[in-house]
Homo-oligomer: A and B are copies of this chain.
Amino acid sequence: MTEFEQGTAVARRAGAPGVYDAELDAGWRIGGGINGGLLLSLVGRALGDHLGEAGGHPQPVSLSGYYVSPSRPGPAEVHVEQIRSGRTLSTGAATLRQTADDGTSVERLRVLAGYGDLSRSDEDVRTSAKPPQLPPVEQCIGTDAAPPQFLASAELLQRLDLRLDPAYVGWALGKPSGEGKIQGWLRMADGHEPDPLLLLFAVDALPPTTFDLGLFGWTPTVELTVHVRALPAPGWLRVVHSTRNLAGGFLEEDCEIWDSNDRLVAQSRQLAVVPR
């Protein structure tokens, strides 16, 4: 089992169809809570198990997560509901809950999702989007160069092999580009190869684009929608994050992931809260 498989593992609860137990590992923390993309992957694994068995659609095509409260290391449970099973897609809903210190059950994340079969071949591919122009991996910046106080609250980064484009890491030296962009090469530190569930995590794994606007502090996610557009090939992923509109206390963060075959394998957008 890879770290990612362990971190997103879910166990069917006996006698309770659609209910899954999980353990949120402290190693996926960032800024005090468990990373939102990791939670989406974990819920996505439970959805795939339930919808795959019920409707024959095991792979995530679209997930929308609304983050209700920060998740903490420890036990969690996922409740999955199948809404509909169609010919090409199954639609489902899921809830991630934890038990608070006072014993009450607290909702962390609510998800809607469409699941399908990404392995079906479809010849018609028209992608006008262009892959990012990145310097070679060896010319990019590893996260071990980040300030120790940042790394101390970003345990997640130790699970990644992330090499950021030097053009957009000026913020680490106090000189953000102001463009609102972060991009780089990404693979898992333990060699876990890309798969659809990993993409749900990878769209939320980079530092926030607000760093490149000179705004530090955390940017809590309100809503994150991911579309998985193709099965990713093995090897490095190229991940591009950008924001084009910071206003009214919120910003959107768009993400594209390209695989080693130059295929656009995931697109996402999240609405996040501007750091104060």
Residues of A within 8 A of B (CB): 61-62, 64, 66, 68-69, 83-84, 88-89, 91, 93, 107, 110, 112-114, 118, 120, 122, 124-129, 179-180, 213, 222-223, 225, 227, 229-230, 243-250, 252, 264, 267, 269, 271, 273-274
Contact = CB atoms under 8 A, between A and B. Distances in A.
B64 A244 contact: no
A14 B247 CA distance: 39
Nearest to A243: B128
A199 to B, nearest CB: 14
A61 B250 contact: yes
A64 to B, nearest CB: 4
B64 A249 contact: no
Contacts of A93: 110
A107 B271 CA distance: 27
Complex copy number for this chain? 2
Contact of A225 (B61, B84, B225): B225
21 contacts: A61-B222, A61-B271, A62-B223, A62-B271, A93-B110, A114-B223, A120-B248, A122-B248, A122-B249, A124-B247, A125-B247, A126-B247, A127-B247, A128-B243, A223-B225, A227-B252, A227-B269, A229-B247, A229-B250, A244-B264, A245-B264
A226 to B, nearest CB: 10
Contact of A112 (B91, B110, B179): B110
A128 B179 contact: yes
Contacts of A180: 126, 128
A98 to B, nearest CB: 14
A128 B89 CA distance: 36
B245 A267 contact: yes
Contacts of A118: 248
A42 B122 CA distance: 35
A274 to B, nearest CB: 7
Contacts of A271: 61-62, 114, 227
B66 A222 contact: no
Contacts of A252: 227, 229, 267
A244 B126 CA distance: 8
Given A61-B271, A110-B93, A110-B112, A247 B223 contact: no
A87 to B, nearest CB: 11
Nearest to A95: B83
